[in-house]
Structure 1
Amino acid sequence: MPDFIINTHDNVYIPAEDSYLLADNLEIEQGQSVLEIGTGSGIVAMYASKLTDSITVTDINFDACELARKNFEDNEIEGIEILFGNLFEPVENRKFDVILFNTPYLPTEEGEVLDDTINYAFDGGLNGRKVIDLFLDEVSNHLNDGGIVQMIQSSLSGNEETLQKFDEMGFIAEIKASEHFFFEDITLINAYKVI
């Protein structure tokens, strides 16, 4: 896998095991259009840029958008569209072949909420599904037929529930890869939108 220069920022999620679980398992073909929700440092998009030229990234954290821009520039990666905003808001009427999302999947109680925008990277609400369910509600509207969703979540935030939701939407979904940590499995779910 390529080595990239990765600048970091105190207010932006630093690439960790979950980032690389997604980056190492990308299913993207040349010419496909890719949307990454919550790009953070831009690391996953940088790996994706080795596979296709049509990439759009969004983030609800403006510092993340600026950091991703700097990382793309420092790695001489051109042509990635960076949009500021929540989930699919910045790409309202657009569709893509591949949608990537390292979700904020940590179950978070009121006292654990961080008082800064980096909180967006972690905070999954009480059951870890606050953002995941909003994402699932909209994802089909932005994915081309025959496209794929690749998303990271945790066993703490209900993998089976996610698989069931995809099933109800007519997708074929599976846990493609996982890594075990102290009290949870971080999982990569691939969901294919069958024609």
Structure 2
Amino acid sequence: MSEFIITTDENVYIPAEDSYLLAENLEIEAGQSVLEIGTGSGIVAMYASRLTDNITVTDINFDACELAQKNFKANGIENIEILFGNLFEPVKSRKFDVILFNTPYLPTENDEVIEDNLNYAFDGGLNGRKVIDLFLNEVPNHLNDGGIVQLIQSSLSDNGKTLDMLDELGFIAEIAASEHYFFEDITLINGYKI
């Protein structure tokens, strides 16, 4: 599935269908600045590195930051800045042309919460939107005019609400790609900042 060398870690999300749905549909032009939130293993950023050399990644899971660094090094990629922290906190007031996020979109009951760092990759709260809504409310502050946000979520976490929120925040939004699995559709939503 991937042409990259990928090491995995039990505490970090292992690249899956949603990772590749984003990685294979990137809308990045040469020279653009890219921010990926929640980089995990770093697979999406590695695909992005073929399109531009101005990439910053963040993750709230320190194990993920270390793993991404290891994977970048194994693939000879040296131009990705890795920052530890939650959502946009590590980039302060910086702005980017493209923002990517494979969100933690699974609706999660309290008894389904995992007691380790891997939980950050999945736990979307009761309605699957705990992190998505925080992210969307912040995204306009970090995206250049004419920029794009590309995010992955599930039909279980209300695609319509994401499209409506992006619309209210001044984006033109669409479902750009989707794949059906068992009881849900995994969707890629693109928001273009006007």
TM range (shorter): over 0.9
CA contact (8 A) 1:2 1:47 kept: no
State the AA in 1 paired with 2:140. Answer: S
Q: What corresponds to 1:172 in structure 2?
A: 172
TM-score, normalising length: structure 2: 0.99
Partner of 2:128: 128
AA of the residue aligned to 1:192: Y
Distance 2:108 2:169 in 1: 27
Residues 55-134 of structure 1 mapped to structure 2, 5 A cutoff = 55-134=55-134
Root-mean-square deviation (CA, aligned residues, Å) is: 0.8
**CA distance in structure 1 between the partners assigned to 2:4 and 2:79 by the alignment:** 17
Distance in 2 between residues matched to 1:130 and 1:154, nearest whole Å: 13
Q: Secondary structure at the match of 2:118?
A: helix
In the superposition, the TM-score normalised over structure 1's length comes to 0.99
Q: Aligned partners of 2:92, 2:128: CA distance in 1, in Å?
A: 25
Distance (Å, rounded) in 1 between the aligned partners of 2:49 and 2:125: 32
Q: Deviations over 1:119-155 (max 9, x none)?
A: 0000000000000000011000000000000000000
Partner SS state of residue 9, structure 1: coil
Task: Give 1:2 shift.
Answer: 6.4
Change (3 A) 1:2 1:154: closer
Equivalent position SS for 1:8: coil
Given that residues 105 and 129 in structure 1 are in contact (C-alpha distance below 8 angstroms), is that contact kept between their aligned partners in structure 2? yes
AA matched with 1:163: L
Question: What is the rounded CA distance, in whole Å, between the counterparts of 2:2 and 2:156 in structure 1?
Answer: 31
Deviations 1:9-53 (A, max 9, x none): 010000000000000000000000000000000000000000000
The match for 1:22 is 22
Amino acid at match of 1:62: F
Q: Per the alignment, do residues 90 and 78 of structure 1 end up closer, same or farther by CA in structure 2, a change over 3 Å counting?
A: same
1:79 positional shift: 1.1
8 A Cα contact 1:35 1:55, kept in partner: yes
Name the % identity.
81
Aligned residues: 194
CA contact (8 A) 1:35 1:99 kept: yes
2:51 aligned with 1:51, yes or no?
yes
